[in-house]
Every structure is written in C-alpha cells, then in structure tokens.
Structure 1
Amino acid sequence: MSAGVGTLPRVVALQGASNLRDLGGYATADGRRTRFGLVFRSAALGGLTEDDLATIGALKLKTVCDLRGLHEAERAPSRLPPGAEILPMPIEPTVGASLRDILERGQATGEDVLSLLAQAYAAYATQKLPVYRALFATMLQPGRLPLLFHCSAGKDRTGFGAALLLTLLGVPRATVMEDYLATNGLWRSERVFPPGTAPEVAQTLMRAHAPLLEAALERALTGHASIDDFADAALGLDATRLRTLREKILE
C-alpha cells in the first residue's frame, strides 16, 4: 500500500503542530515493510499544547533530530515530553535572504521561488549530505529509536531526509514521492507574506514539488553504481551498517 492510499501515511493529529507522521507501513521492492512506531517526520514542534504533549508522549520518542537552522530553533524552541533528547543537526536556510529580498521588492514570480528552492535541494544532495549522514548514524546508535526528525515545515529538509531513508530501505521511488507530496495535504502553514505578494509566489513557496525532489535524488545518486554504493561512499553506511539499518527499521 502506498502513501495517500488507505491508512498511509499514518498521521499523528495535533492541535499545535502539523505534518507529523509515522514512516511505517511502506512496502519495499523485496517484499518487506517499514515498521510502525520507530521513525517519525514532522514540522516544528514549538507550538504543542498540553494535549499534544500527551499525544507525542505516547510515541515514546527517545530522540528528536532538529534540522532547523540555529536561529530558527532559537526563535521557536521545541516542546517535548520527558524522555526525548533533542539533537541539533542544523541545515541553515541559505536561500532565505534571497527569498526575503525578492518578496520585499514585490518582484518575485513563482519561477523565481522555484529556482531558489531548487538551489536549496541541490545543496541537500551535495554539501549538506553530512547532516543526513549524522541522522542515519544516530538511528543506528543503541537506544535512539523511536526517533523523530523535523525542520520548520517538515517539507524540504525533512522531505529530502525521509526520501533518502526510504530509498536506502528499498522503498520504490513512486512511493517515496507520494510520501513527500503528502505534505501538501497535511502541513498547516501560519506564514505571513509581505503585502502584495503574488498568490502564485505564496503557493509555490508553501508546496512540495516533485521535480525538486526527483532532481535532488538523481544529483545525490549520480556517479554511484547502486543505492548501496551511494550509501557507503556518501553516507558512511557500508554493507554491514546498511544491513543493520534495514534490519532495525524493516519487518
């Protein structure tokens, strides 16, 4: 069963946050399936209510990996129940200044925004890979699961990380893309744009775009003979560590 069909993705409904979901239930090409209750993805967790804290507490999280930039995290610290350790793994929003500039000038188009987002995704697939390497290394450490990773929207930095993980586990690309695009129906944004921002600009910025992820995954995998070769060379997951990761997360 793929994302967007039936009960997948399994969403954790919250009042003060959105786009929190379990990465369990996805079938792999070799007939296995990702386990429920081990790895979660979400948007920022700074606005959780007391009821939300109880809901997240039931997940028994051991680790929360925060992919937000340092200032993003300082402005909206995560609220979490006892027992969950926060590990900062910052991916700074390097296109933010350019984006603010074109928005404030009122000259942005949807294509401008898509171009800036494409630059960010290219960075995820190249110079930011060490952050994802650290994320997967954390998953391999004893006692770290269940684990949740998130950024601000749970859309771009988190979306690429989830896509990498599912790809490493052997989930087909079509299902990976469906999980990524589920953000478009799950994320509740509270972003306020400058007056006069064109609707197409706001819509482009707030949505997940399949071509961006497709291009980033292809960029990351270029030059590698296989997924396993990429995992070893780029992510520090040799055959033994990759097998262990799969054994942990797949059933």
Structure 2
Amino acid sequence: MTQDLPIAVPLDGASNLRDLGGWQVADGRRVRHGLIYRSATLAHLTERDVSTIAALGLRTVCDLRGVDEAAHRPSRLPDGAERIPLPIEPTVGASLADLMRRELSTGEDVVDLLRRAYLDYGTRFIGAYRNLFELLLQPGRHALLFHCSAGKDRTGLGAALILTALGATRETVLEDYRATDRLWRRDLALPPGTPKPLADALYDTHPVLLEAALDAAIEAHGGEMPLLLERGLGLDARRLDRLRDLLLE
C-alpha cells in the first residue's frame, strides 16, 4: 500500500485531521485530493488552526457527535463553513461507568462495549451516514469534512463506508482506519481514575470491530454490498456512478 497516505493536516488544537484523497480504488482511479476530510473534534482550534482549516476551502462540516456532546463542546469553524449535525449518539457511557466501578474490569470488557457500539453505528444509525452521502453528492458542498469526538469510531465507519462505496478494497479501508493510531493525540478526556487497560482499549483502533460493523450493515440490508449501498445509503447505480465521478480521478 502507499506509505505516505493518509495526508494529515497538522493543527495545534486538534488532531487526526486528514485528507481522504489519494487512496486507490478497484478500477485504478484514486480519491481526489482536497474534497473529503475526516477529523477529531474541532472544539479547541486556535486562531492559527482556524486559518489553516479555512485554507482547505471547507464548505460543509458534518458533526457526527451526539446532541449533548456537540452542545457541550461547540466547534470552531472558519467563515464559509456550514456545520451540519448528523448525530450518532454515544452508547458506552453508562456501561463504561459501571465497568469502572468493578475492580476486575479489563480492556476486553471495554472492547465488548465498543463492539456493541460499532454494531449500532452500522445498523441503528445508518441514516446518519446516508445523509452524509447525500451531502457528498452535492458538488456545492465540497470540500466536506466529517468528524466525531476522537475521529476514530463513528468517523472511522463513515470513512470506511465512503471508501468502500468508491471501490476501495477492505485492506485499504483498514489501512485508513488504523492511521488514527499514529495521527490522533489521544486528547479526549476520560473520567478521572480510568485504569490504563481500560483507557488503552478506548483509545486504540479495533479493526475487527470496524469489519464487524461493515458486515452487520451489509447483513441488515440484504446481505450484499450493492444492496447496502442502494437500500442503506441511497446509492443506486446512477447515484453511485455520479458519486464516483465527483470524487475519483
């Protein structure tokens, strides 16, 4: 695989912001640079960061955080960038608090919680991703950035669905997903006293969970990828061709 991808945008007050451009898809084309970005929260941008992001030409910022998350830490955006809420509510908070009260909780317990969350993302919240694709089909919305809090889980599945729809292999999808391990500064605050094994499990990427979410989404929409694209994400053959023409070169 290409060793210099993904292309990160360095910031002072945020991390894990990168261009989805450059990844190769099955027909030999590549994702166009400068059209689709993914990131962690944009709530703590410095003035210099805002200028850096403004230079990307962002018109649309899709916020995948839950309603309370977004209200508690509002995004800082440059002029001309419209925030579109596509809330995917976090589902591990109360269960995580319960694990922290149990002395024998392990990282594997956290992964089990995350598994349930990922499966929810790929099934219960598929409508948020469908709306993301609706925006991507509108050239006037480009450049478009989508993000959650860490830019890892909800954002990770969004990137996986986009790359898959564009024709990328599962290997490419996973390579983009794993890049979070080196690009994210793990600056998302956890409850005080979170044991290190639990924190590490929350902060790490989990490729097996991403694959499980993709497979669950496929299974929930007829068991075949073309059916997920059409029934789950609103991409019939005509719209899929249009998406690829817009986003590939």
Bin of the TM-score, shorter chain as denominator length: over 0.9
Q: What amino acid is aligned across from residue 164 of structure 1 in structure 2? A: L
What is the total number of aligned residue pairs between the two structures?
247
Counterpart Cα distance in 1 of 2:44 and 2:65:
15
Counterpart Cα distance in 1 of 2:170 and 2:198:
28
CA contact (8 A) 2:58 2:81 kept: yes
Matches within 5 A, 1:100-249: 100-190=97-187, 191-195=189-193, 197-222=194-219, 224=222, 226-249=224-247
SS at match of 1:203: helix
SS at match of 2:141: coil
SS at match of 2:13: coil
Gaps of 5+ in 2: none
Counterpart Cα distance in 2 of 1:249 and 1:177:
20
Return the offset for 1:234.
1.2
Counterpart Cα distance in 1 of 2:139 and 2:34:
16
Residues 52-77 of structure 1: per-residue CA shift (max 9 Å, x gap): 01110110000000000011101110
Counterpart Cα distance in 1 of 2:94 and 2:171:
33
Return the offset for 1:226.
4.1
User: Structure 1 length as normaliser, TM-score?
Assistant: 0.95
CA contact (8 A) 2:218 2:227 kept: no
Which residue is equivalent to 1:92?
Answer: 89
Q: Tell me, yes or no, if structure 1 residue 78 matches structure 2 residue 78.
A: no
User: Structure 2 length as normaliser, TM-score?
Assistant: 0.95
CA contact (8 A) 1:193 1:202 kept: no
Higher mean C-alpha displacement, 60-69 vs 199-208? 199-208
CA gap 1:212/1:59 in 2 versus in 1, 3 angstroms:
same
Return the offset for 1:189.
2.0
CA gap 1:156/1:44 in 2 versus in 1, 3 angstroms:
same
Return the offset for 1:29.
1.1
CA contact (8 A) 2:190 2:199 kept: no
Counterpart Cα distance in 1 of 2:128 and 2:30:
25
Q: What amino acid is aligned across from residue 57 of structure 1 in structure 2? A: A
Higher mean C-alpha displacement, 219-228 vs 95-104? 219-228
Dislocated runs of 4+, deviation >6 Å = none
Identity over aligned pairs, percent? 57
